[in-house]
Structure 1
């Protein structure tokens, strides 16, 4: 009888000490993978918290142009003292619900920042560094030190991708040695050389050329056609598998090339597979209505079998690679350096969903028509 009581006492003492040790183990936050492409999902896990503890999981990024961006969700640890951002519900913050990538797509400038900011990666040779941290409670989390944190690298340019400067106001991103399908990447009316989508497309196996076509000093269509021929004739590009991606104003020369460079009645003369992506809440350009017009014109011309469409309700003008923050409005700098506040439209969650869905389908479209068949242009 005594021996049983003694065993129980020893066991209780052991369990008590074990529980005390566990409660003293500091919280940890882990992210998998800690290094990956910007369109790759990650998993965030917080462990060693007291059960039922309210915490804030926060992301913080210092952008290439010197501004701080953050996102955060409010969670409560489960009976094991764990928060799994991929599976658990955020009850507040910059996003709510079960949102595995909410720590990225809901990013916004930290309080006190300038108005009209837009987050864009400028240096493709360095990663987007994001600090993921966990804080006690749901209020005042910025004031105290984090319970734990980890630094995550998000890359547009995969290992092995080369960045080649082209004198004709362009940059070529490609793997070596190739050859690969080629893409000409055309951005909008802000001008300048925008590289990040090109780098990401190259990371998926396309030799991609980013082009500054608005400051070339030449007729735009002529210049773009010259650039298209340049990438088509590049020794590391498969000449008959070259496409064009255009956003905003860049969609016009993209359509021009899709019609075999025929200026008159461009849409009727499209001879290549065409994918149109439009946000139905675009406040900058009637993109949905334009897509409807193109659809009707191609149907009348008998070439609508070449057309695929992606229309996204409550999405705005700037449909970018997945997990990019949404901007309903931002400061826009024109080619002559004038500034204006431009309304892009869209609601954050639907717009972010559209970016994730459209990017997957854009890659699929390009792979289908450039990697598996001949002469496709987007």
Structure 2
């Protein structure tokens, strides 16, 4: 919570495929006058108790209960709720905004435009990540072709990072923004800010974000949408100061394998700093001024 009695606008913060919580982001927002709730929805490698271990069939009703809880808190303005998500959390942020009209602004960083499959130990499974009203949501299956597998194996034995982008591209290349697995972003009851790196090697977040913008334009969505695309920047493009003594995350060791996130350290750092200012400006416009802004330019 920020200083003062409020009531304060509040942002719900959702981490990505590693699970757990991004508490530093909630603290950072609180220092700028917003209540921040960093919410775990599966534990992943974090070891958080009372959460599902894996990102498999997480009920969206869980988040509805969180919204109701926020609205009941003293010092919170229950009419001014934003959601900020990263990677799989960016996918979820779009999905929650499209499902629950109580959410009045969405910041989606390195998102997917589609519902992706569930994860167990960060590996895709043949189950949906989400359910709603007791039913799994339709999802996209990754498609690994033989040459991709052999290329990644060659990188693995040389201990070089490999990209997962090709499998996501091939999984969605025959789909469009109206497929049943596409997130119905036109149902979001507020403005959107999409933030991507143009060198994202984990999945094609720039392509996904452009699909979101296309779908919103096609539906004549009455709220603003702004798409920020950063050159030579990879998957982790948002929120500075999380790991102040370490360089930006360009790759991840997953057991003996190295997964590439893309980007270059200096460009990544500058994009994180710039996107933080963009997030603050967006929240100020969305939660403190008129929600129905229409003058933002969605172009990269």
Aligned to 1:205: 33
Task: Give secondary structure in 2 for the equivalent of 1:367.
Answer: helix
Alignment of 1:74-85 (within 5 A): none
Question: Distance in 2 between the 1:283 and 1:372 partners?
Answer: 36
Contact 2:14 / 2:21 at 8 angstroms: preserved in 1? Answer: no
Question: Distance in 1 between the 2:97 and 2:13 partners?
Answer: 13
Aligned to 1:88: none
RMSD: 2.5
Question: Does 1:287 find its partner at 2:287?
Answer: no
Contact 2:186 / 2:216 at 8 angstroms: preserved in 1? Answer: yes
Contact 2:223 / 2:292 at 8 angstroms: preserved in 1? Answer: no
Contact 2:98 / 2:189 at 8 angstroms: preserved in 1? Answer: yes
Aligned to 1:232: 71
Aligned to 1:357: 274
How far 1:320 sits from its partner (Å)? 3.2
Aligned residue pairs: how many?
A: 199
Question: 1:231-268: CA deviations, max 9, x gaps?
Answer: 23322111111100000111122112222438775223
Which of 178, 187, 203 is 2:6 aligned to?
A: 178
Question: Does 1:315 find its partner at 2:154?
Answer: no
Question: Distance in 2 between the 1:190 and 1:288 partners?
Answer: 21
Q: Where does the alignment leave 5 or more consecutive residues of structure 1 unmatched? A: 1-172, 333-337
Question: 1:178-220: CA deviations, max 9, x gaps?
Answer: 2210110001011112211111011111111011112434734
Question: Distance in 1 between the 2:70 and 2:291 partners?
Answer: 16
Contact 1:281 / 1:346 at 8 angstroms: preserved in 2? Answer: yes
Alignment of 1:55-204 (within 5 A): 173-204=1-32
- TM-score normalised over the length of structure 1: 0.49
- TM-score normalised over the length of structure 2: 0.60
Instruction: List 4+ stretches of structure 1 deviating above 4 A.
Output: 262-265
Question: Distance in 2 between the 1:208 and 1:305 partners?
Answer: 23
Question: Distance in 1 between the 2:32 and 2:256 partners?
Answer: 35
How far 1:342 sits from its partner (Å)? 2.2
Question: Distance in 2 between the 1:367 and 1:268 partners?
Answer: 22
Q: Which one has a larger percent strand, Structure 1 or Structure 2?
A: 1
Aligned to 2:86: 247
Task: Give secondary structure in 2 for the equivalent of 1:185.
Answer: strand
Contact 2:29 / 2:36 at 8 angstroms: preserved in 1? Answer: yes
How far 1:271 sits from its partner (Å)? 2.5
CA separation of 1:318/1:339 partners in 2, compared to 1, >3 Å: closer, same or farther?
farther
CA separation of 1:224/1:375 partners in 2, compared to 1, >3 Å: closer, same or farther?
farther
Contact 1:284 / 1:343 at 8 angstroms: preserved in 2? Answer: yes
Question: Distance in 2 between the 1:370 and 1:340 partners?
Answer: 42
CA separation of 1:349/1:294 partners in 2, compared to 1, >3 Å: closer, same or farther?
same
Question: Does 1:258 find its partner at 2:97?
Answer: yes
Aligned to 1:277: 195
Task: Give secondary structure in 1 for the equivalent of 2:60.
Answer: helix
Contact 1:271 / 1:303 at 8 angstroms: preserved in 2? Answer: no
Higher RCO (CA < 8 A, seq sep 6+): 2
Task: Give secondary structure in 1 for the equivalent of 2:199.
Answer: coil
